[in-house]
Structure 1
Amino acid sequence: MRDTIFTRKPEFEILPMTADDCAAVSQLHGQRFARPWNDGEFLSLLLQPNSYGFVARQTNALIFKPPLSGFVLAREVAGEAEILTIAVHDKVGRAGLGWRLMQAAMREAHARGGEAMFLEVDDGNAAAIGLYRKLGFEKAGERPAYYADNQGRKSAALVMKRVLR
């Protein structure tokens, strides 16, 4: 009994992102990216009529419960959708949350008329690239020296695409 309490698989609910989520989304983004976006930037993007997002909250945490477990922000315009940013809290990584957030974003893009979805990913982020490939994304292009880390090192952005039909 005691082992099941401490090894319980995390459970999450995926909900539409609202303006009230922007501060927590910004905080998580700042933990995961070298150039964080502030809550005003998230709010500005979210309020655009073609943008949408989802947040994930853990529902069964006993000890550590982050205010936000993950999020995805996307937009769809004229049949093309784009993942603007996505992040999962490091305490709940490898729990399938990125997969679920991406699925929610792809379903919403398709419902809005999206025929294809694009994203950019740092070419050094093997975990994210692996996830995107499992979701059916393929490399469509590359932007050399696109990202810079906190030490100023540059890395390429892979542009990936998935057909949604």
Structure 2
Amino acid sequence: MSILDRFIHPLSSHVEAVGTESAARLSAIHASAFARAWSTLDFERLLGERGVVADGLFLEPRTQKWTPLLGFIRCSFSLLAHRMRRTRRAASAKTGSTFPPDALGRATKPVAFALSRIVLDEAEIITVAVAPEARGKGHARPLLAHHLDALSRRGVARVHLEVEEGNAPAIALYRRAGFRDVGRREGYYPKADGTKVAALTMALDL
């Protein structure tokens, strides 16, 4: 997605399954959201496990009819971007560095994701995270709804999760989705300052 598109087009979101090709991006999002970050290797191992399901939320500019002026601006911007890419390729040829395309040829990377593990007819939501630039914009709700639907279609009848007791936005998100409190674990989540906070355990029947 170009910088120009971000200004001219309103963004629309869509959710799709992600795999090991997105491990590095999911690791970066996770590190921005949790004190105990998981590495790219951690995600590669998780995503490679049987029964693990992950969905990513992607943002794309909506397709709109361009006016002649906006079309001219976009063409000019595209030409400039093309020249910049050509310069970068020339520089990389001299230094030996490379600029690989996005995995699977996607135009964007996920800005949020949900990851669960299925065992028989139950699933545990292992983690849900949203990138800093996408927070507070209502993206988590459609992501979670899509993810729960994907679990249901795989035969899951009951979903469990744990959430930090002080994470009010996440708790509100899960309760809106129908999750109910079923327990509490003291000192479960480590904080950046070395302290630990309790976790709420929640469940949802699909």
With the shorter chain as reference, the TM-score category is 0.7 to 0.9
What is the TM-score when the length of structure 1 is the normalising length? 0.88
Shift of 1:103: 1.1
Task: Select the structure that is richer in helix.
Answer: 2
Q: Percent identity among equivalent residues?
A: 32
CA distance in 1, matches of 2:11, 2:181: 32
What per-residue deviation string (whole Å, max 9, x for no partner) do you get for residues 60-85 of structure 1? Answer: 29xxx984310111121111111111
The residue aligned with 2:144 is: 102
Kindly indicate whether structure 1 or structure 2 has the higher relative contact order, using CA contacts under 8 Å at least 6 residues apart.
Answer: 2
Is the aligned partner of 1:125 residue 2:167? yes
Q: CA contact under 8 A between 1:75 and 1:109: conserved in structure 2?
A: no
State how far apart, in whole Å, the 2-side matches of 1:98 and 1:123 are: 18
Instruction: Say if 1:26 and 1:36, in contact at 8 Å, map to a contact too.
Output: yes
Specify whether residues 115 and 70 from structure 1 end up closer, same or farther in structure 2 by C-alpha distance, changes over 3 A only.
same
Gaps of 5+ in 1: none
Q: CA deviation at 1:10?
A: 3.3
Provide the C-alpha distance between the structure 2 equivalents of 1:66 and 1:126, rounded to a whole number of angstroms: 29
Once residues 139 and 19 of structure 1 are traced to their aligned partners in structure 2, the CA distance between those partners, rounded to angstroms, is 32
Q: Which has the higher strand share?
A: 1
Letter aligned with residue 127 of structure 1: P
Which contiguous aligned blocks of 4+ residues in structure 1 show a shift greater than 2 angstroms?
A: 5-10, 65-68
Q: Is the 8 A contact 2:60 2:108 kept in 1?
A: no
Q: Is the 8 A contact 2:179 2:204 kept in 1?
A: yes
Deviation, structure 1 residue 121 = 0.4
Aligned-partner Cα distance in 1 for 2:51–2:58: 24
What does residue 86 of structure 1 align with? 128
Aligned pair count? 157
Which residue is 2:47 aligned to?
46
Amino acid at match of 2:176: K
